[in-house]
Amino acid sequence: MSAVLDGRAATAARRPVAPWAAGLGLAAVALAGLCLGTPFVAPQDLLSAAPDSITHVVLWELRVPRVLIGLAGGAAIGTAGLLLQESLRNPLAVPELLGVSTGAALAVSVCVVWALPVPASLYPLAGLLGAALGGLATLAAARTGRSAGGVLLIGAAVSTAIQALLLAVMATADRLQYDMLFRYLVGSLSGLMWEQTARALPWFAAAVPLVVLCVPALGLLRLGDDAAASLGSRVHLARLGVLAVATLLIGAVTGPCGPIAWVGLLAPVLARRLRPYAGVRLWLPWSAALGALVTLTADLAARLAFAPVETPLGAWTALAGVLAGAVLLRRRAAS
Are 97 and 83 a contacting pair, CB within 8 Å?
no
333 vs 335: CA distance, rounded Å: 5
In this predicted structure, what is the pLDDT of residue 209? Answer: 94
**The one-letter amino acid at 20:** W
Q: What mean pLDDT value characterizes the chain?
A: 84
Q: What is the DSSP letter of 115?
A: T
Per-residue pLDDT at 89 = 83
Instruction: Provide mean pLDDT across the span 190-194.
Output: 86
Task: Give the model's pLDDT for residue 10.
Answer: 47
Give pLDDT tens digits for 40-52. 999 988 888 778 8
Model confidence pLDDT, tens digit, residues 292-318: 999 999 999 999 999 888 999 988 998
Listed ranges 101-110, 138-147, 229-238; the one with the highest mean pLDDT = 101-110
Has residue 250 got a pLDDT over 60? yes
Least confident of 11-15, 35-39, 194-198: 11-15
Please check the confidence at residue 214 and state whether its pLDDT lies above 90. yes
Residue 76 confidence (pLDDT): 94
Amino acid at site 106: L
- Residue 14's pLDDT is 46
pLDDT class of 329 with cuts at 50, 70, 90: low
Of 30-34, 56-60, 142-146, 281-285, the one with minimum mean pLDDT is: 142-146
Q: What is the mean pLDDT of residues 167-188?
A: 85
CB count, 10 Å around CB of 12? 10
The average pLDDT across 273-296 equals 90
**What backbone torsions phi and psi does residue 173 show, to the nearest 5 degrees?**
-85, 150
How confident is residue 333, by pLDDT bands cut at 50, 70 and 90?
low
Residue, of 231 and 176, whose pLDDT is higher: 176
Report the length, in residues, of the chain: 335
DSSP of 139-151: HHHHTT--SHHHH
Q: Which of 18-22, 145-149, 159-163, 177-181 has the lowest mean pLDDT?
A: 145-149
pLDDT at 2: 43
pLDDT at 153 over 60: yes
Domain boundaries, the chain: 53-334
DSSP 72: H
Distance CA 222, CA 233 (A): 12
The CATH number of the structural domain formed by 53-334 is 1.10.3470.10
User: What is the rounded average pLDDT of the residues 230-236?
Assistant: 80
Contact (Cβ atoms closer than 8 angstroms) between residue 155 and residue 279: no
| Chain segment 53-76, per-residue pLDDT in tens | 888 899 999 999 999 999 999 999
User: What band does 7 get if pLDDT is binned at 50, 70 and 90?
Assistant: very low
